[in-house]
Amino acid sequence: MSTQDSGHRDEAIGALARRAYIEAGDEYTRAGRAVLADPRPGIDPFDPGNQGWVGIGLQHLLVAALSYRAGRDPETARFRGVETAAVAGELAQRVSDSAQSACFEEFRADCRVAGGLSGIADGYDDAIDAYEAAANEVEDPAQVSTTPLFQAAAAPLKQVARGFANGEIAIEWSDLHGANPADPGQFLASTANYKRQRFPTLVDRLVTEEHLAAPRGTTEYATDHHRCPHCDSTDVNWVGDQTLCLRCSQRTEPV
């Protein structure tokens, strides 16, 4: 998804590859603030339209908090979690679309997990209630869930999870959503419910193992042109401007 992050996301991914997590957190912070200020040409962050590109700014700030947690800097992670929750809370109040407002509430709950803050269950309860209240205004919840805003809300969870799944996709779209799009409230609220069950445990493991994977980009398996000097894998993940090992998220080398 293309937003104006001034190149800081690419720098952050490069830092993740070096396992320089504090640097990654700083670069994700800069990326997030740049996107929040000016997401895309002609897009007002306070009136994000039906796509919600501003959510990618929140995504970057959340991953910044996670990077600090992996880098053993819980205090900065807490600051970033509080900052991001405040922005998400403001956007939840300012947008006119009730489903988007509920998604910003979901972001607020995620901030409590990523930042090591209290009230995680209450945060997800608030998001679920907001989705249920928005149900009558949502005509196509499956389409809504594929917009940049909702994809941005799912991305940090997926990024953390793939780090403990040998680099594979650990959480599918079907894991996050209800089985019945005819029930919009339940369909959209399923993501918050799933996160309440899985996200805190995954972040605890991230802290224990001090590891945050790079996001998944374009992949190729069993290549004859790259081999990872760290784990010997020939599987490649092209993400940002980096060529990384699909398995360990470190830089892979041409053969």
pLDDT digits (tens, 9 = 90+) for 224-250: 999 999 999 999 999 999 999 999 999
Query: What pLDDT score was predicted for residue 30?
Result: 98
Read off the pTM: 0.97
For range 141-163, the mean pLDDT: 97
pLDDT digits (tens, 9 = 90+) for 70-81: 999 999 999 999
Using CA atoms, how far apart are residues 110 and 245, in angstroms rounded to an integer?
28
Q: To which residue do tokens 């490649």 refer?
A: 236
CA dihedral 228, 231, 236, 241 (to 10 degrees): -60
Q: Which amino acid is at 115?
A: G
Kindly list the domain boundaries of the chain, sorted by start residue.
8-213, 217-255
For range 17-29, the mean pLDDT: 98
What are residue 44's phi and psi, to 5 degrees?
Answer: -85, 120
pLDDT digits (tens, 9 = 90+) for 94-132: 999 999 999 999 999 999 999 999 999 999 999 999 999
For range 1-10, the mean pLDDT: 92
For range 170-197, the mean pLDDT: 93
Terminal-to-terminal C-alpha distance of the chain: 30
